[in-house]
Chain A
């Protein structure tokens, strides 16, 4: 069998060389330049891959457990990628990525089906609740907020917003998020006004710059901090009212 395969691979390389002969620079890929026992690298790799294929297919045939079969099919997909990688060219490298993506997509879909079919879906009983979430939020949020204001602009908004997000996510909030939305809206208006000033009254560029910097800082910070309030929190210090028994 292996002899037949290597014979095939030899003809394959022979065709490659003949194609190179006729097509000139067409086949710039050099499949198997280094010879070992009269076989090219590509042939040896191909034979190895085919041996792996036989082993994995045999394992798949013997295996009865669904989860193990799923894992073995992933093994088979890896061999497909190896077969592409054997070409050793830039094009092969570019083909591996979509191949990998397809494999991961299929694996994800299949594991989801496996979870649903075996009824392994379970609501988590308690969400993340660690000590740092009770002690640190205030100091970290204040620090990040101050640093964000110093940075100003988009980056500053992101830093400050992250600090606020951490605070809201840990401490919980009773605030109405509509107020935050409203402030964010006004901040956006400030930013737009600043741009109109830039275009119509360029002499006042410094005022416009300050306006835009503040506006975008407030807008980004608030938008990010709203994410923190999305975690339906009753202000009980990181404990979820849903699911857990609340005796932490």
Chain B
């Protein structure tokens, strides 16, 4: 069924490259390799390969490193104390950080707009998880606000993907990246807004309270994932 669908799509589509060749993106050109799952074909270009290696490195760092312990000094005195991170918190944060890294890698490799939006939504959930592991009133308050924003962010993200499907009839980037298919600017805009709300890449100020949460390499994953997924959506939007 899938193969028949793909065959009909590739046969009827006047693709500029060969339909069996690698797709052409507007950043760093042709894809390096592809990984097909049925009619969803993931790929890496030189540009996304760099992002992928970056995400992989930080996932490995989160996997092997121990958390830093924040030191607070008491105002007006010589006393200071280090924050202790319980084993339970550490395990949960580490799990969430690794899940976040995997979701980021998935989003970077995605060859399908809807898969990309789903992975972005997963990054939002895991980011909430990393932050919410810390049982501190201020941090939890902030995680709640951040979570609300991430939930609202699924609206432009999914509506953007739905409009891409409605206007072009496909979600596959292999067809969307060809010059024959025009994606409306509004759909692209919605995708970018969705990623901003999920990962909050340019809105770091809103995360000020979040960075107060102890557990350095895991909290860092929040920033790395949002930055990488933002760079990826820029590639998608420019190439479409």
Interface of A toward B, CB cutoff 8 Å: 8, 11-12, 15-16, 19-20, 22-29, 31, 42, 49, 53, 60, 66, 69-70, 73-74, 76-77, 79-81, 83-84, 86-87, 91-92, 95, 98-99, 102-103, 105-107, 109-110, 112-114, 116-117
Residue B135 CB within 8 A of the other chain: yes
Bound-state CA distance A23–B118 (Å) is 27
**Among A53, A80, A91, contact of B154 (Cβ-Cβ < 8 Å):** A80
Contacts of B204 in A (CB 8 A): none
Bound-state CA distance A29–B5 (Å) is 13
Segment at the interface with A among B21-29, B136-144, B206-214, B215-223: B136-144
Bound-state CA distance A109–B150 (Å) is 12
Interface core residue of B144, B161, B162, B175 (most chain A CB under 10 Å): B162
Given contacts A8-B186, A12-B184, A83-B159, contact A110 B151 (CB under 8 A): yes
**Among A16, A84, A105, contact of B125 (Cβ-Cβ < 8 Å):** A105
CB-based contact B163/A77 at 8 Å: no
As a 0/1 sequence over residues 152 to 187 of chain B, the CB contacts with chain A under 8 angstroms (1 = contact) are: 101101110111011111110001000011101010
Segment at the interface with A among B7-15, B59-67, B81-89: B7-15
Known: A26-B170, A83-B158, A113-B144. 13 other contacts (CB 8 A): A15-B184, A16-B167, A19-B168, A19-B169, A23-B14, A23-B169, A24-B12, A27-B169, A31-B166, A83-B159, A106-B147, A116-B140, A117-B144
Residue B43 CB within 8 A of the other chain: no
**Among B122, B147, B165, B184, contact of A113 (Cβ-Cβ < 8 Å):** B147
Q: How far is the CB of B2 from chain A (nearest CB, A)?
A: 12
**Among A22, A42, A86, A110, contact of B180 (Cβ-Cβ < 8 Å):** A22
B interface residues, tally (CB under 8 Å): 46
Given contacts A98-B118, A106-B125, contact A84 B162 (CB under 8 A): yes
The 7 lowest CB-CB distance pairs between A and B, nearest first, are A27-B169, A117-B140, A24-B12, A80-B158, A73-B151, A83-B159, A102-B121
**Among B12, B143, B165, contact of A26 (Cβ-Cβ < 8 Å):** B12
Bound-state CA distance A42–B180 (Å) is 23
Which secondary structure characterizes the binding site on chain A? helix
Contacts of B109 in A (CB 8 A): none
CB-based contact B114/A106 at 8 Å: no
CB-based contact B12/A23 at 8 Å: yes
Residue B132 CB within 8 A of the other chain: yes
Bound-state CA distance A116–B133 (Å) is 10
Residue B148 CB within 8 A of the other chain: yes
Which secondary structure characterizes the binding site on chain B? helix
* Closest partner residue, chain B, to A79 (CB atom): B155
Contacts of B148 in A (CB 8 A): 69-70, 73, 110
Contacts of B111 in A (CB 8 A): none
CB-based contact B151/A77 at 8 Å: yes
5 intermolecular pairs with C-beta atoms under 8 Å apart: A20-B169, A76-B152, A76-B154, A83-B163, A95-B162
Bound-state CA distance A26–B5 (Å) is 9
CB-based contact B168/A110 at 8 Å: no
Contacts of B184 in A (CB 8 A): 8, 11-12, 15
CB-based contact A113/B140 at 8 Å: yes
Q: How far is the CB of A89 from chain B (nearest CB, A)?
A: 8
Residue B106 CB within 8 A of the other chain: no
Bound-state CA distance A27–B140 (Å) is 46
Bound-state CA distance A142–B5 (Å) is 56
**Among A60, A105, A117, contact of B141 (Cβ-Cβ < 8 Å):** A117
Q: How far is the CB of A4 from chain B (nearest CB, A)?
A: 10
Residue B128 CB within 8 A of the other chain: yes
CB-based contact A113/B9 at 8 Å: no
Contacts of A20 in B (CB 8 A): 169
CB-based contact A117/B137 at 8 Å: yes
* Closest partner residue, chain B, to A81 (CB atom): B158
**Among A19, A69, A109, contact of B132 (Cβ-Cβ < 8 Å):** A109
* Closest partner residue, chain A, to B163 (CB atom): A12
Contacts of A103 in B (CB 8 A): 151, 154
CB-based contact A80/B121 at 8 Å: no
CB-based contact A113/B132 at 8 Å: yes
CB-based contact B144/A114 at 8 Å: yes
**Among A19, A49, A81, contact of B167 (Cβ-Cβ < 8 Å):** A19
* Closest partner residue, chain B, to A32 (CB atom): B166
Bound-state CA distance A80–B147 (Å) is 17
Residue B124 CB within 8 A of the other chain: yes
